[in-house]
Structure 1
Amino acid sequence: MSSQRAVEFLSKGEKIRGDLVLPEGEGPFPLLVMGGGWCYVKEIVMPHYAKAIVEKGVAVLMFDYRCMGASEGLPRQHIDPAAQIEDYKSAVTFGERLPEIDGERIGVWGISYAGGHVLAVGATDERVKCVISNIPVVDGYENMRRVHGSQRFHELNELILADRRERTKSGTAGGRMPMSSLHPFSELSTWPFPTIHTIFHDIKEREAPRHEHWSTIESTELLLGYDVAPFARRLYDKPTLMVVAEGDEITLWDLEIGVFNSIPSARKKLAVLPKVSHMSLYSKQNDLAVAGRLAAEFAAEHLGVR
């Protein structure tokens, strides 16, 4: 049987907590480091994907970023993509030192915001031997501009500017805003889709009590400066799988495919899943199973399961 244990490690002085799951048999095993997306704690979705990966003989390390979930760090619910990318690299450093893990066979897996992070991690950390990017955020500015529409995007920028002025004046972490809202035309949120609100509150109630459906306003300001395209162009010879939901209106499948096409690696694979949505890859077991199987097979192939 597979085994699971809680682990913790430091990232820039902050204590990061996660779970290490080992396959059956004797190691050392290859390892896939797994991080979540916007406001996601490790209990959201990752265990479902991890199950298929571990069954293929690959260990997984699921972790919460600093300021999120079980990990330490202030301000809470502050989402800094550069810091989260650093947390990924700290997780790789922790994993490569474990006696159960083969430090020469480590990959990274990410979904949504983290789907973009792993492209950056893979491009800047030579220890990473494969990249699995699910429904990634690739261009924060264009993503926000399109999902909000011109008028609401203007209002979003006004809110961000007001928060910046207040942070400078008061020296505090600033205000907070919802991840999503049931009333996106009257309440500003980062991701203005009622389905996101409904599905994540259901997941929180069932299996992820640490999930908080809000972030600092500055987190959204940082999202507007997020662009992984330059990193994708540096993935010269790294096996990279990108899973895209056909017609994804949340992280914008056309942008995702454009970034995939820019990856120069000959060892890349694009999987466009028909009849799924961004959120069904969190909530529908059949869709989770398809994406999980693709990730497991890709990881096993490129991390050299023996």
Structure 2
Amino acid sequence: MERRIEFQSEGETVVGTLYRPDGREGPLPTVIGAGGWCYTKEIVLPHVARFTGQHDVQFLAFDYRGFGESGGKRRQHIDPWAQIQDYRNAVTFAERLDEVDENALGAFGISYSGGHVLILAAIEPRLKSFVSVVPVVDGYASLKRDHGEVDFRLLENELLEDLRERFDGGGGTKAMSSLTPHEDRPTWPFPQAYEVFKVLKEQEAPLHEHWSTTESTQHLLSYSVFSFLPRIVERDVMMIVVSGDNITHVDLEIDAFNRIPSPNKSLKVLPVGGHMSLYSDRRDTNLAATHAAEWYRSTLSARSQHA
């Protein structure tokens, strides 16, 4: 069963979908999830919800402010801390619903939001169980590798020029990805990402827009989860990564995982076709969703007073 929900986040209306297993009554363990760079709630999240529902765990997916169906005067602007605050406001909304067991709340994130989930594990005590899929763990390190030394220097110059323009009331936009990254210098210079998200927009996520403010990329270069990881002590954390990932970089992700001191953590390295196959190949999406659902079953269901 799907139900449209709305809640307020910092004065703006956030829109989401609550996926509840059919035929269940009373409060259930609940996972709160949002997407990555320029995603809307229709990308990946409904497929994860389908698998969590098989274990009587409901899923609340939402659009960040400025994206999809949610409000927000500044569209397509990605401020990671604003997005993390949207997660926390979603928690406050969820814990007040009669159909939600507030003692059994979890979070899901993929790519950029995979990093957000690790930060939430450090700062949000109401959440107990976390799944982070192919997370961005260090924006600067990732983009420097992704663009290469020469293009990265040019990207930095573009961001500096945009900073000057914003001082005068301007500021530009940047493509998420493109077919000609050396010419366009999108945030993520991978033609495959452009092709995959083009199909997703046509088939699943019509409100997806493949661009952001240029300032968003500047925020990304200051983004890192590493200072938060030592604080993840009494949390249940699963990280799902992809062997050979050249977008968010599996070695950086595994380094982050190894720095989490919590004894109840799990790492899954999927032997699939790459970062983008989690979006383009439903078998790979389902494999990641299966691991996530089983993790929530084993961690959240045990906490639920209504199981």
1:231-242 correspondence runs (5 A) = 231-242=228-239
Aligned-partner Cα distance in 2 for 1:71–1:299: 27
TM-aligned CA deviation for residue 275 of structure 1: 2.9
Aligned-partner Cα distance in 2 for 1:273–1:21: 26
Aligned-partner Cα distance in 1 for 2:292–2:136: 18
1:218 and 2:229 matched: no
Aligned to 1:23: 21
1:273 and 2:270 matched: yes
Aligned to 1:99: 98
Secondary structure of the residue aligned to 1:227 is coil
Aligned to 1:294: 291
Aligned to 2:126: 127
Aligned-partner Cα distance in 2 for 1:94–1:85: 14
Aligned-partner Cα distance in 1 for 2:272–2:53: 27
Deviation string, structure 1 residues 38-80 (Cα, Å, up to 9, x no partner): 0000011111111001111101100000011110112100000
TM-aligned CA deviation for residue 35 of structure 1: 0.6
1:41 and 2:40 matched: yes
Aligned to 1:204: 201
Aligned-partner Cα distance in 1 for 2:172–2:217: 11
TM-aligned CA deviation for residue 27 of structure 1: 2.0
Letter in 1 for 2:166: R
Aligned length: 302
Deviation string, structure 1 residues 214-268 (Cα, Å, up to 9, x no partner): 0000000000000001112211120000000001000011000000000000000
Aligned to 2:300: 303
Aligned-partner Cα distance in 2 for 1:275–1:213: 25
Letter in 1 for 2:35: G
- Identify unmatched segments of 5+ residues in structure 2: none
Aligned to 2:7: 9
Aligned to 2:173: 176
Letter in 1 for 2:15: R
Deviation string, structure 1 residues 258-300 (Cα, Å, up to 9, x no partner): 0000000000000000133111111111111110110000001
Deviation string, structure 1 residues 76-116 (Cα, Å, up to 9, x no partner): 00000000000000001100000000111100000000000
Aligned to 2:158: 159
Identity of aligned residues (%): 50
Secondary structure of the residue aligned to 1:132 is strand
1:80 and 2:84 matched: no
Letter in 1 for 2:13: K
Secondary structure of the residue aligned to 1:230 is coil
Aligned-partner Cα distance in 1 for 2:127–2:272: 32
1:193 and 2:190 matched: yes
Secondary structure of the residue aligned to 2:284 is helix
Letter in 1 for 2:156: N
Aligned-partner Cα distance in 1 for 2:17–2:40: 12
Range 205-214 or range 229-238, more displaced: 229-238
1:254-265 correspondence runs (5 A) = 254-265=251-262
Q: CA RMSD in A?
A: 0.8
For residue 249 of structure 1, the aligned residue among 243, 246, 250 is 246
TM-score, normalised to structure 1, is: 0.97
Which runs of at least 4 in structure 1 moved beyond 3 Å after TM superposition?
none
Range 271-280 or range 261-270, more displaced: 271-280
Range 217-226 or range 5-14, more displaced: 5-14
Aligned-partner Cα distance in 2 for 1:27–1:245: 37
Secondary structure of the residue aligned to 2:178 is coil
TM-aligned CA deviation for residue 32 of structure 1: 0.2
Deviation string, structure 1 residues 103-142 (Cα, Å, up to 9, x no partner): 1110000000000000111110100001100000000000
1:69 and 2:65 matched: no
